[in-house]
Amino acid sequence: MKISFLGATEMVTGSCYLLTTDKHKILIDCGLFQGDSDSDDLNRNQFDFDPASIDFLLLTHSHIDHSGRIPLLVKRGFKGKILSTKATFELCSIMLPDSGYIQEMDVEWINRKRIRAGKTLIQPLYTLDDAEKSLKYFQVINYDEIIKLTDEIEVRFKDAGHVLGSAIIELWIKEKDKKIKIVFSGDLGNKDIPIMKNPSIVDEADYLIMEATYGNKVHGSIENTLLFLLDIIIHTVENGGNIVIPSFAVGRTQEILYMLNMLKESEYSKIKDIPVFVDSPLAINATNIFKSNEDLFDDETKELIRKGDNPFEFPNLIFTKTAEESKAINFHEGSCIIVSASGMCEAGRIRHHLKHNLWRGNSCVVFVGYQAKGTLGRRILDGEKKVKIFGEDIYVNCKIYNLNVLSGHADQKGLLEWFSAIKKKPVKVFLTHGEEDALLSFSKLLKENFNIEVEIASMGETVEIESVEESISIIAEKPSITHKADLNVIYDIESILNSIRETLINNSVLNDINKAKLLLEKMEDIRSQLKNLDNFIKNA
């Protein structure tokens, strides 16, 4: 059996893996490439396989970097079955047509320019209609049930805690009378994030394909982040500016609403009257799908709803559906909070709000999710002082904040914990879905702590997978964790440092920025001394 890595290799978008057994071809995810300048080419290229030859597509979750090329796959001849959870299907039913619509609009805009330049016209990657047609290939399955796909292949989806309906996929494949278990982690959730349950534990794997988006970072605490967000809102409102939150329509927007609901319901009545606009038709539809899938929420959220406090409903929460309502936000008197998509600012209404607020010294932009290389969001976050929006140069003068603790992805500690919980460890781990630093750092950590083979998957690579009985017994004889105690100490100190850092930043919003800067430098000093200490312990 072979596995081919056809996306999300040394990057975070375009997830797509192909399993080829002696009888079948199975695709895991078929996502859009986003951000980089060559994304468009990568999306338009021929697939590395004949779409008509694929028997099953197993979809980990609805996010467009995992599902966004499904309509193209169908358009190019796929006739198999697409298996996903019910919530993933429901979310795809709104996200894929939305993506088709965006493709059509983008091409229309490009073609208008091409006509003026005397160039030939281009076709959209796929249309809204293509996207709708692709939905009829979906077949919905339940979490935690082993499904027999063929005589040789069984599959189970487990809650990955990343977004509504997200799954870790376990596959058992029989070949030449031997069974091999391959696990695809999908995107693994962040334990601290509201609404979603914690990622499920997997008991065993022969081979593991694992994401490592934050393989080199430890998120700060959610409580501090909430206070930080509150400070940002209060400070911005005092200055008469707007708070613009670029947010993924599906998942992150609902989590932000949960947090704003918490802040508004708490004693911090200062922000009770500030209007919150959710300006994204997709986010509005997604919120309705969340509301109808309460059974998938974590216990805290279920309890909140049981007590009568729906996190998606609070005073002054305004959902703006039409373009007119969206435009009217720009003429809103007084400060407001605008939550709009797309999360990486590449498309959608958020670009209008950035255009109207980036140049204003009293407004702010709060990033709450991963910003892929090359996206408008990443460029703003990286400190570019001038960006182009709708062909116009916009000066970046407002304050920029990054609350990446709100990420839907596990951080380094979360990833390591999830891997540690696998009782029978895989003989080999392929790391995907991360940028180079994250992959290298997490690969090193896995090798050091578990003494297993780790490979950073590269684009287009195909690897032969063999039965692993012997190797597993060798692994079992070795201690699985060697530096766990040391690591925990380092993590604790790291999280203390993060808390101090956030508190300092909090204060710097209101008080003496120079003093805070000095303290931050001092802390970086402590951090590097800690690193030395960590190395010293490990080498001792």
CB of 27 to Zn ion, least distance (A): 17
CB of 76 to Zn ion, least distance (A): 24
Nearest to 363 by CA among 459, 239, 475: 239
Which residue's C-beta sits nearest to Zn ion? 63
Residue 25: count other Cβ atoms within 10 Å of its Cβ: 19
Nearest CB to Zn ion, comparing residues 232 and 344: 344
8 to 47: interface string for Zn ion, x by CB under 5 A: ----------------------------------------
> What is the gyration radius of the CA atoms in the chain, in angstroms?
23
Helix extents (H) in 307-435? 323-328, 350-357, 376-381, 412-420
CA atoms within 13 A on the CB side of 185: 28
CB of 433 to Zn ion, least distance (A): 9
CB of 96 to Zn ion, least distance (A): 15
Q: Decide: helix, strand or coil at residue 519.
A: helix
Nearest CB to Zn ion, comparing residues 130 and 187: 187
# chain residues binding Zn ion, by CB under 5 A: 2
Per the rule left: phi > 0, alpha: psi between -120 and 50, beta: everything else, 117 is: alpha
**Which residue stretch of 61-69, 221-229, 255-263, 462-470 sits at the interface with Zn ion (rule: CB under 5 A)?**
61-69
User: Measured between alpha carbons, how far apart are the two ends of the chain, in Å?
Assistant: 42
Nearest CB to Zn ion, comparing residues 65 and 130: 65
How many residues in total does the chain contain? 540
State both tokens at 130: 């293509």
Distance of alpha carbon 138 from alpha carbon 30, whole angstroms: 13
Nearest CB to Zn ion, comparing residues 15 and 449: 15
Nearest CB to Zn ion, comparing residues 63 and 75: 63
Nearest CB to Zn ion, comparing residues 5 and 228: 5
Distance of alpha carbon 127 from alpha carbon 103, whole angstroms: 7
Nearest CB to Zn ion, comparing residues 93 and 150: 93
CB of 323 to Zn ion, least distance (A): 28
State both tokens at 128: 């809204």
Nearest to 5 by CA among 419, 366, 433: 433
Amino acid of residue 405: V
CB of 177 to Zn ion, least distance (A): 37
Beta strands in 403-498 (DSSP E): 428-432, 453-456, 462-464
**Which residue stretch of 62-70, 106-114, 435-443, 484-492 sits at the interface with Zn ion (rule: CB under 5 A)?**
62-70
**Which residue stretch of 152-160, 184-192, 237-245, 355-363 sits at the interface with Zn ion (rule: CB under 5 A)?**
184-192
Residues 413-472 that bind Zn ion (CB under 5 A): none
CB of 244 to Zn ion, least distance (A): 22
State both tokens at 327: 């435009």
CB of 185 to Zn ion, least distance (A): 11
CB of 65 to Zn ion, least distance (A): 6
Find how far residue 494's CA is from the centre of its chain.
23
Nearest CB to Zn ion, comparing residues 34 and 134: 34
409 binds Zn ion (CB under 5 A): no
Nearest CB to Zn ion, comparing residues 8 and 276: 8
CA angle (517, 521, 527) in 5-degree steps: 140
CB of 160 to Zn ion, least distance (A): 9
Report whether 196 contacts 298 (CB < 8 A): yes
Nearest CB to Zn ion, comparing residues 210 and 452: 210
**Which residue stretch of 121-129, 181-189, 361-369, 485-493 sits at the interface with Zn ion (rule: CB under 5 A)?**
181-189
**Which residue stretch of 185-193, 379-387, 439-447, 464-472 sits at the interface with Zn ion (rule: CB under 5 A)?**
185-193
Three-class secondary structure assignment of 39-75 = HHHHHHCCCCCCHHHCCEEECCCCCHHHHCCHHHHHH
State both tokens at 490: 């380092």
- Which of 130, 187, 255, 411 is close enough to bind Zn ion by CB under 5 A? 187
Q: Decide: helix, strand or coil at residue 242.
A: coil
**Which residue stretch of 59-67, 167-175, 335-343, 345-353 sits at the interface with Zn ion (rule: CB under 5 A)?**
59-67
Distance of alpha carbon 505 from alpha carbon 84, whole angstroms: 42
- Which of 4, 29, 35, 63 is close enough to bind Zn ion by CB under 5 A? 63
**Which residue stretch of 56-64, 197-205, 315-323, 527-535 sits at the interface with Zn ion (rule: CB under 5 A)?**
56-64
CB of 8 to Zn ion, least distance (A): 10
CB of 353 to Zn ion, least distance (A): 23
Distance of alpha carbon 512 from alpha carbon 498, whole angstroms: 19
Nearest CB to Zn ion, comparing residues 187 and 494: 187
Distance of alpha carbon 88 from alpha carbon 309, whole angstroms: 25
- Give the interface with Zn ion as residue ranges (CB under 5 A): 63, 187
